[in-house]
Amino acid sequence: MVDIEIEIDGKVVHGNSGESIISIADRVGIEIPRFCYHKKLSVSANCRMCLVDIKGNPKPQPACSTLASAGMKLYTKNAKAKAAQKAVMEFLLINHPLDCPICDQGGECELQDVAMEYGSDVSKFSEGKRIVADKDIGALIHTDMTRCIHCTRCVRFGAEVAGIVEMGGTGRGEDLKIEPFLSEGIQSELSGNMIDVCPVGALTSKPFRFGVRSWQMNSVQSIARHDLVGSNIFTQTHKGKVKRVVARDNESVNETWISDRDRFSYQALESEKRCLVPKIKVNNEWREASWQGALDFAVNGIKNNNSDGSKFGSLTSKNATLEELYLLQKLTRGLGSDNLDYRLDFANPATTDILMSSVSLDELEGIDHALIVGSYLRHEQPMINHRIRKATLNGASVSAINTKTFDFNYRISNNLLTAPQKTVATLSGVLKAVLNETPEKQPDYLNSVVVEQAHKDIADNLLNAENAVVILGEHVNGNPQADEISQLVKDIAEASQVQTLNVSLTSNSLAAEQVGFKPVNGKNALEILASDLNSFVMFDIYPDFDCFNPESAIENLSRSDAFVVSLNSFEDDSVLKYSDVVLPIASFYETSGTHVNIDNISQSYSASVKSAGDSKPGWKVVKVLADLLEIQGFEFTDSTEVADEALTFTPATSLSEVKISNSDIPEISTVWQYTPYATDAFVRHSSSLQETQIGKINVATVSKATAKLLKLSESDLFKGVPVNINNSVAEGCVFVHTRQPRKR
């Protein structure tokens, strides 16, 4: 692009040849009214509100679709431009209802704001206004389509960002309506962003509806905690309650979008399952206690069941803050124990090495090929999937090695189905195909590997790409051969000289890695939950969902000789079953903390509201426990002090060589994937998310051949989940996609 000079309202500004007038004006702070234009969407130029007077043009021109040229002179506020803008405003208000006093958009409505400056007190239109019937488009978005001004932002968002064409225009002229094509409602995991892009009150938040006026709320900068991105958000509060969550712009992290689970999980704060008071179990009966009484009970239990540290273990949720993770590992090791872990859902957490990501979020848009291994990326990491989709719109291709054919919102050029027990063999075939030109570099274990055409196709895509990435997904966590799979992905990336992206470690897992919340010489998660340890601290854990083998974990923790201290935000039945004391901790909306995202960026945030009930910030509870246990080094007065120490901490490591074996695991495998709204306690307790189509997913998919082996039919249940028989799943496995608790 060539730098050019243009003049706007007498002010000389610089832009690029081919750049629109409105984008140049926005960059230099010159305001031009608009409705249909959005910086992240294609230009439709259908509202005409951005008309400007360009010298030499007989008629005003739309600033959004008119490209700047060198020497151009234009006016946004002279008489000609203002007259054109006022005429458009009058036209747009012809059918708009006069319902600002009851509209949730009031106070932050673009139409309202523009009408104040460009609207008229008197309308020439005397006919009756048209009324458009509202559509039920799901549990998250409320429609008032009579307010719609046909800007088509929602339509373009669906087609261009969400990647699902769900909204569109039907009819013509006076009868034009914007409505969904399907009766099931909106099914995108990014649907809530349509609320933000709507410039009027046609689409508003259903959970927020009639809650409070926008100008009455305080906005607190915060970080979303449900995935590896750490999307930037505003938490909007009123009288100590979180009323709404909206996106906060950060181009390098989440741009201007957030996922639905980031937007609506706050509803869990009002759940009847909130843990709000300390409780202790006496004679197998639960009693409410004071904080001092509960802490003394917990400390005495730990001391009485842990003489030398070897009988103590701690486990934590991946959603814990950096500060909580650091202090809990410090407490654990201060007691002389190395029995700690955060990898509760791993089939084999013995590994201590992880695949490092070598590409940043914003760099993903520039790739020309992606290989996805073991991931339904769209549901697991929606904001990362959005970046991949943007790359595909720019011409990038995508290959996948998965257990199931997933409904991605972009084309998969090579889709290789493979059962989990055959993933090592499949990746070995791809690696051998990549090394075909350099056989001297092939390791011995590849000698017996047979390279199939599908392996060659995937290898060719990687070798022919200029800027490719291999993405390792969450499904690897449930695979006993996770070490080998991770090593093969690393070897394939190195051999083909492409980048890597590891999305298998979710939520705040990278913070857990930063502080060394895994054993060096002690027991890992599976071993802890199957061991004869006598005392435990469980931090924000709900075994039914969080553990790889929940039944075994709950049974072992419920032993009469096991003393369990649980720090939780919610009181689930399983937690009450095995715990001896429950200490209520604040949610991430109610505490300060730090989230480490996939770019290894540490993003800190403050509490949006005060802790509910008698709950306390988790880091403070762990600190007080350490003080009462007389462990040194916990002289912290603020979470920032903890973060400063944690971010300079260098964890000890114990690395072991990974040996690749091409022997398949002989049994039929089960892949258990939670819906996006069942991945952590907060989304599980958000009522609106559970009512969405995505939240209701509950199906065990199996191929015809595997169904025959397992003697399953369409009317059966597999581990409590309805069976669907089709060939979208690799033979030799069952893919369970559900919000139900895991069963082994």
Distance CA 215, CA 128 (A): 32
> What is the chain's percent helix, strand, coil content, to nearest 5?
30, 20, 50
pLDDT tens per residue, range 77-104: 999 999 999 999 988 888 888 888 899 9
pLDDT score recorded for residue 352: 61
pLDDT score recorded for residue 122: 67
pLDDT tens per residue, range 422-462: 999 999 999 999 998 787 788 888 989 999 999 999 999 99
Phi and psi at residue 567, to the nearest 5°: -105, 115
Q: Give the Cβ contact number of residue 123 at 10 Å.
A: 10
Q: What type of residue is 211?
A: G
* 340-359 average pLDDT score: 88
Is 722:728 a contact under the CB 8 Å cutoff?
Answer: no
* 706-714 average pLDDT score: 95
How many alpha carbons fall within 13 Å on the CB side of residue 267?
Answer: 24
pLDDT tens per residue, range 270-323: 999 999 999 999 999 999 999 999 999 999 999 998 877 889 999 999 999 999
In the structure, what pLDDT confidence band is assigned to residue 692 with cuts at 50, 70 and 90?
very high
CA distances for 441 relative to 438, 445, 451, 635, 670, angstroms? 6, 12, 16, 54, 35
Percentage of the chain exceeding pLDDT 70: 97
- Cα 497–Cα 386–Cα 410 angle in degrees, nearest 5: 80
Distance CA 27, CA 45 (A): 19
In eight-state DSSP terms, residue 82 is H
pLDDT score recorded for residue 63: 96
Phi and psi at residue 250, to the nearest 5°: -155, 100
Q: Which two tokens stand for residue 226?
A: 């449900």
CA distances for 132 relative to 177, 557, 562, angstroms? 8, 58, 63
pLDDT score recorded for residue 428: 96
Strand partners, 722: 717
Burial class of 733 by CB neighbour count within 10 A (0 to 12, 13 to 18, 19+): buried
pLDDT score recorded for residue 664: 62
pLDDT score recorded for residue 730: 96
pLDDT score recorded for residue 444: 87
The whole-angstrom distance between residue 483's C-alpha and the CA centroid of its chain comes to: 25
Distance CA 729, CA 736 (A): 11
pLDDT score recorded for residue 130: 83
pLDDT tens per residue, range 40-89: 999 999 999 999 999 999 999 999 999 999 999 999 999 999 999 999 99
Number of helices and strands in the chain (H, E): 23, 31
Is 264:190 a contact under the CB 8 Å cutoff?
Answer: no
Q: Give the Cβ contact number of residue 354 at 10 Å.
A: 15
pLDDT at 334 > cutoff 70: yes
The chain-wide mean pLDDT, for the chain, equals 93
Distance CA 324, CA 618 (A): 6
Over the range 204-223, which residues count as b (16 or more CB within 10 Å of their CB) and which as e? bbbbbeebbebeebeebebb
In the structure, what pLDDT confidence band is assigned to residue 129 with cuts at 50, 70 and 90?
confident
Percentage of the chain exceeding pLDDT 90: 83
pLDDT score recorded for residue 179: 86
Distance CA 147, CA 127 (A): 17
CA distances for 197 relative to 20, 121, 168, 421, 620, angstroms? 20, 27, 15, 45, 39
pLDDT at 182 > cutoff 80: no
CA distances for 116 relative to 33, 89, 111, 120, 506, angstroms? 12, 10, 9, 8, 46
* 359-368 average pLDDT score: 96
pLDDT at 208 > cutoff 90: yes
In the structure, what pLDDT confidence band is assigned to residue 8 with cuts at 50, 70 and 90?
very high
pLDDT score recorded for residue 99: 87
Measure the CA dihedral 160/162/166/169, to 10°. -30
pLDDT at 160 > cutoff 60: yes
Q: Which residue has the tokens 């202090």?
A: 327
pLDDT score recorded for residue 116: 86
Distance CA 591, CA 598 (A): 22
Helix (H) or strand (E) segment spanning residue 314: strand 312-316
pLDDT score recorded for residue 655: 66
**Longest CA span, the chain:** 90
735: closest CA among 671, 689, 659? Answer: 671
Most confident of 37-41, 111-115, 164-168, 662-666: 37-41
